[in-house]
């Protein structure tokens, strides 16, 4: 399986990973043969990258931290919750809590897997995918930082619902009134739910604060920002660097990691960024790369302790057959990834 830019996808290629709607329904199933119409429709829906099956890499599997089933379940519950809030009704936080328990079980079983944000985004599902990504990365960091099960669940719910304030019609981030910022509005929504810990509300409240005291909505400095919020802020920043529909920012993972390191200790908590870099894949499996040897290949394996030094498979054609070799960058100290290819 390979990751391919939508503009490089060709009719006849086989989709390698299912694409979901905001409600968790299947838009396009894994294994379908792509047509011109499908590719055009996906581009119109805002899809920028696809996973494509490739017989040269049919043995390459992308390890998932959270199962597809549980992703669909959480997206469904989030959809129901968001619809309730938009309609002015109370949402069922208990059903969401049960879904979070299943997500935590998945993550605990796969805590040694490097996070690769593999869900394909569309205009329709972007908010759901973003929330799930922030939640997953936050829990992975929380595990690294030694949080207990109760704390991990509080963090997971707070991270999943960090942008819930955007549903409030009174929210306006460009207003001079800090109480109209979506973080403040989210706090007001969540603190009214007595079955939820107040720390969950504060995770949403503080996820745009910065350790230098220049964040929003209250300009808190690092000493006054709750650890849950510091963790969620790191996850939120990274995911927005990868894909931000508001600004058009779309960095590659290795570029975003470099940018995150520049923010560490200034905008983002330094120790939290260090833990983040231990959880994320700098060069996700399936990424096409060019090496310093001038060879091109595809990332086919990862190292938990060395996320920037993956295993790369080089394919060369000799007459009528392909020859493959693998270069483990953890062992080849003088070989480097020069660039990521589309």
Q: Among 258, 277, 296, give the residue marking a domain's end.
A: 277
Same domain? For 204 and 91 the reply is yes
Same domain? For 299 and 242 the reply is no
Same domain? For 310 and 264 the reply is no
Same domain? For 85 and 219 the reply is yes
Which region among 31-35, 86-90, 148-152 has the lowest average model confidence (pLDDT)? 86-90
pLDDT in tens, 171-223: 999 999 999 999 999 999 999 998 999 999 999 999 999 999 999 999 999 99
Give the pair of three-digit tokens for residue 244. Answer: 């931000």
The full DSSP string for 107-120 is HHHTTTSPB---PP
Instruction: Please give the pLDDT value at position 320.
Output: 65
Average pLDDT over residues 56-66: 90
Q: Note the pTM of the prediction, 2 decimals.
A: 0.94
List helix spans (H) across the chain. 36-44, 68-86, 93-109, 126-144, 149-160, 182-191, 198-206, 227-242, 253-263, 270-277
Instruction: Please give the pLDDT value at position 24.
Output: 79
pLDDT in tens, 210-225: 999 999 999 999 999 9
Instruction: Please give the pLDDT value at position 302.
Output: 94
pLDDT in tens, 4-29: 999 999 999 999 999 988 877 888 99
* Range with top average pLDDT, 146-155, 297-306, 315-324: 146-155
Instruction: State yes or no: pLDDT of 152 exceeds 90.
Output: yes
Helices 149-160 and 198-206, interaxial angle, to 10°?
Answer: 50
pLDDT in tens, 92-124: 888 889 999 999 999 999 999 999 998 899 999
Same domain? For 263 and 295 the reply is no
Same domain? For 194 and 311 the reply is no
Closest CA to 243 of 167, 158, 129: 129
Q: Among 257, 277, 297, give the residue marking a domain's end.
A: 277
Domain of residue 10 covers: 2-57
3-state secondary structure 239-308: HHHHCCCCCCCCCCHHHHHHHHHHHECCCECHHHHHHHHCCECCCCCCCEEEECCCCEEEEEECCCCCCC
Quick one: how far is CA 90 from the chain centroid? 28
Instruction: Please give the pLDDT value at position 96.
Output: 87
Same domain? For 261 and 307 the reply is no
Average pLDDT over residues 26-33: 93
Instruction: Please give the pLDDT value at position 291.
Output: 97
Instruction: Please give the pLDDT value at position 167.
Output: 94
Same domain? For 101 and 121 the reply is yes
Instruction: Please give the pLDDT value at position 319.
Output: 56
pLDDT band at 323 (very low <50, low <70, confident <90, very high): confident
Q: Among 31, 57, 83, give the residue marking a domain's end.
A: 57
Cα–Cα distance between 207 and 227 in angstroms, integer?
10
How many structural domains are present in the chain?
Answer: 3
Give the pair of three-digit tokens for residue 324. Answer: 């493959």
Instruction: State yes or no: pLDDT of 276 exceeds 80.
Output: yes
Instruction: Please give the pLDDT value at position 125.
Output: 92
pLDDT in tens, 243-254: 998 888 899 999
Average pLDDT, the chain: 93
């Amino acid at each position: 399986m390979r990751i391919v830019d939508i503009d490089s996808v060709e009719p006849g290629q086989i989709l390698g990973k299912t694409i979901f709607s905001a409600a968790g329904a299947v838009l396009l199933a894994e294994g379908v043969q792509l047509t011109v119409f499908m590719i055009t429709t996906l581009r119109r829906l805002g899809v920028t990258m696809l996973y494509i099956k490739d017989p040269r890499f049919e043995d390459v599997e992308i390890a998932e931290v959270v199962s597809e089933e549980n992703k669909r379940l959480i997206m469904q519950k989030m959809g129901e919750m968001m619809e309730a809030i938009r309609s002015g009704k109370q949402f069922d936080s208990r059903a969401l809590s049960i879904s979070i328990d299943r997500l935590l079980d998945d993550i605990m079983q796969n805590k040694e897997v490097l996070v690769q944000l593999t869900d394909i985004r569309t205009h329709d599902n972007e908010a759901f995918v973003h929330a799930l990504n922030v939640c997953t990365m936050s829990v992975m960091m929380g595990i690294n930082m030694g949080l207990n099960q109760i704390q991990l669940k509080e963090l997971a719910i707070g991270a999943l619902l960090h942008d819930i304030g955007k549903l409030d019609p009174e929210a306006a981030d460009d207003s001079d009134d800090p109480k109209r910022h979506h973080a403040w509005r989210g706090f007001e929504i969540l603190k009214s739910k007595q079955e939820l810990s107040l720390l969950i509300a504060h995770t949403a409240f503080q996820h745009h604060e910065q350790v230098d005291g220049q964040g929003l909505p209250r300009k808190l400095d690092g000493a006054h920002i709750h650890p849950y919020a510091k963790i969620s802020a790191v996850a939120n920043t990274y995911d927005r660097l990868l894909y931000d529909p508001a600004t058009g920012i779309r960095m590659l993972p290795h570029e975003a990691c470099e940018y995150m390191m520049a923010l560490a200790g200034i905008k983002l908590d330094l120790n939290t960024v260090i833990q983040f870099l231990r959880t994320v894949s700098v060069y996700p499996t399936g990424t096409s790369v060019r090496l310093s040897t001038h060879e091109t290949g595809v990332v086919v394996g990862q190292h938990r302790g060395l996320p920037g030094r993956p295993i790369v498979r080089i394919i060369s054609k000799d007459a009528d057959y392909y020859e493959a070799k693998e270069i483990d960058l953890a062992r080849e100290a003088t070989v480097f990834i020069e660039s990521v290819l589309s």
